[in-house]
């Protein structure tokens, strides 16, 4: 069944900029004392050019449903990996409706369309099973102070082991 929402590049739907900045800051950075202005400045990098970073927005008309980004790097401990799907967020009332998987798939498609044969993602331990169910393959565990798992998705499907 086709989703009842659209996914757009933030550059095409700039009316969602402030909402995306707020969600990213609230979800990942506020508790670490990072000023919201820092996140706003980083998100502005998504508004120019055609390269990375890219912020994707799931929306139903003017209703914001979620976001995901495609970044050059998302984990200082692993600079050798690029690009990364990051900052996946779904509004609480839109969860369980396929928004996050659709955003993640679109971010992967964007990476592959740019000539990458792999894309990476990191997640905290409670999210590990979720990404396994979406077909991501763990390549490292317990990375950095947050004990993250690093996942990879290949452009071509992996053969069964």
Question: What residue ranges do the domains of the chain occupy?
Answer: 6-114
CATH of the structural domain 6-114, one choice from 3.30.470.10, 1.10.3230.20, 3.40.640.10, 3.40.630.30 = 3.40.630.30
pLDDT for res 2: 64
pLDDT for res 49: 81
Q: What is the mean pLDDT of each successive set of 10 residues along the chain, which is 161 residues long?
A: 86 97 96 95 90 96 96 94 97 96 97 96 95 96 95 76 48
pLDDT for res 160: 52
pTM (whole model) above 0.85 = yes
In 29-129, where do the E strands start and end?
Answer: 54-60, 63-71, 84-90, 118-123
pLDDT for res 50: 83
Nearest of 144, 102, 106, 103 to residue 123 by alpha carbon: 144
């Amino acid at each position: 069944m086709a989703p009842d929402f659209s996914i757009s590049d933030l550059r095409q739907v700039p009316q969602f900029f402030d909402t995306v900045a707020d969600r990213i800051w609230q979800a990942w950075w506020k508790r670490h004392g990072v000023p919201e202005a820092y996140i706003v400045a980083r998100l502005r990098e998504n508004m120019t050019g055609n390269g990375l970073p890219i912020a994707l927005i799931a929306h139903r008309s003017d209703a914001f449903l979620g976001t995901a980004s495609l970044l050059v790097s998302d984990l200082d401990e692993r600079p050798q990996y690029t690009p990364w799907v990051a900052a996946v967020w779904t509004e609480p009332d839109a969860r369980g409706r396929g928004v996050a998987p659709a955003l993640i798939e679109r971010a992967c498609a964007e990476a592959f369309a740019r000539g990458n044969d792999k894309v990476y993602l990191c997640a905290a331990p409670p999210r590990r099973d979720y990404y396994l169910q979406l077909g991501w393959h763990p390549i490292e565990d317990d990375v950095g102070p947050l004990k993250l798992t690093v996942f990879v998705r290949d452009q071509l499907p992996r053969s069964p082991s």
